[in-house]
Chains A and B, each alone.
Chain A
Amino acid sequence: MAILARYALRRLTRRIRRGYRWFDERTGSTQLVFKGLYEAVPKRGAWAYTLGSATLVLILLQLFTGIFLLLEYIPSFDQAWNSLDFLQTSDRFGAWVRGMHLWGAYVLILIIGLHMLRTFLSASYKRPRELNWVSGAVLFFLVLGLAITGAMLPMDDAGYWTTVVVTNIPHYIPFVGDAIRTLWRGGEFVGPVTLTRTFAIHIWILPFLLFSFIGAHLYLLRRHGEFGAWVNYELTSDDPDAEVADRVRRAEPPYPTKRIDRLYAAPRKTVEFFPNQLYKDTLVSIVLIAIIFVMGYAAGAPLDERANPATLTYVPTPEWFYLPLDQLLVLSPQAYLIGFGVFGLVGVGALAFILLPFLDRTHQRRPLRRPQVLVPGLFLALLVIVLAVLGVNRLYNL
């Protein structure tokens, strides 16, 4: 009996192996997996690099929880609130999954912000990684877009008034503002068409763009390798030229060693992605997912009363990540100032943020040696934090 079982098992494994060989011959999967797992990453600063992979994991978590929500949600002006109310009250795991979707978005925004801050401070956006930064910055804005369109969908009081406020913002863009508002709303006012269009933006247009840019971002990351911080490239010997030449000669894939500043061509010490970095990435992602699980269950996601467009008492408040912008709106009380403040200052700021690698062209990577970007960057970061705190204070004392 045992001999028969062993024989059957051997045949089975042989078939599987043959099948895999067939598959591998056509797809090159083994090479792909090896390439993915056994690439060099800088040894120092490994915990800081986990933020990028955590961002990807959190986006995938949003995708999965979003698919579950889609099974119940009805994107109709009349039924949207009912479907979510049913999900919250009658579905066994509905409230939990919805809570995870909300808290997942919160944690995602926080982590992607920290990831960009790390990249900014370590000057990882410099040649040849300019497009890594551009794609990452676009991804950041896409995530913010997904978050705000998601907040509009429940069609409770908060969702409805968020829709009214947000779809009105394009109105302040000179010349084309009204046309954009009408296109989004499907008319002059918020109505059923606004919801279906916002729903389409949330689940089709923005995710399509998001995953396209994620693909590009990952490809570029693999092409140029991880750049941690200048400390990975510090010189230790008395003969810097020889040390750099030796490092470049021994550079492992994927580090490019040509046509860039030789000092920053290859890190001093590297380790293989698997198992060293992958272990840390997995650990951080598990911790974050655990936090989202707990918060999704304990705090959940709020669902206000069904939207009442005629109400005069409801005070709409923005999500926390839009508080700085909201505070800027409060401080810009007239139409032309809103146009200037929100589209002029914020627009120029956002453009400068995306195009940062093309504005900071020096070879310097040490933070203190490039104050021309560090000082304005930190100033803006602090200003955003201060505006958010002041926004919280204002809303608390409404």
Chain B
Amino acid sequence: MSLRAVTAAASAAATRGNGDHHADDHGGVMTPTLYHQFEDVEQQNESYLVGMWTFLVTEIMFFGALFMAYSIYRTAYPATFLDAHKFLSIPLGTVNTLALLTSSFTMVMAVNANQHKKKWSLINWLGVTILLSCVFLGIKGIEYTTKIHEGLYPGSFNYARANTMYLEHHDGKAGHEAKGIYPYFPSVQELATGYSLNRITPEDPRAVGVEQTPAGPFTSYQGAPSDVEYWSKRAQLFFSIYFAMTGLHAVHIIIGILMMGTLILLALKNHPYITQDYMPTEMIGLYWHFVDIVWIFLFPLMYLIS
């Protein structure tokens, strides 16, 4: 701030503290409440902006830590990540990405409407945004329930169950399912039919002395029950990070929905925050774009590993 403020102070003094805000729906002139610590509206608005950006920086660091954990484990265990991510549904992820991208657009429209003091347009755009985010949450919910159904949730990463489920879902279909989830590992079909030693038949002379395991989906060879356990645990790492990151993201979405709902309520009540000011909407818009961008990173990192 410069000496500009000195001159601005006079005009600011006019608005300071006086509570009556004339709803001036056509002039487009906003006279937001000026809080006592600020000199003028300009200073107040700039403060909000700087504050919001600073907050978003902390948010970036917040997610950044998880992204770091993700990249460290992905470099450490490329195979596991590659395999485990196949349990995620790319179509659902894509729909969600589209939903969020669109919602960012509708949010821009909402802010725009507020700036031009178009009350109903604002409410409508916010409504669409909320709707889209509910679509997003709904699909996330479906994804989560599938994972839980498959036994891939924190505390129980059940590879065995997941693989069977996967087999049930995808059996007979062409495409990438043919080989099952783990390319380095018995394919699902093999597992289902009782996996036999890396495609070596008992007649093979090299198989002499190797005990054959009974058939069944999850008896691994060589009497090493740890296999299933081991795969579960490795895959667990992927899903731990998946749940941690998408969960944290979903919490942010929910908070966003709540805030947008509040905005709609305020707009319905013709509250000066909406009629005389557009900063609240713009701040929430900024937040929303941030949440969106996080997903833009999450989607390829989780769903599109290659």
**Is B a genuine binding partner of A?**
no
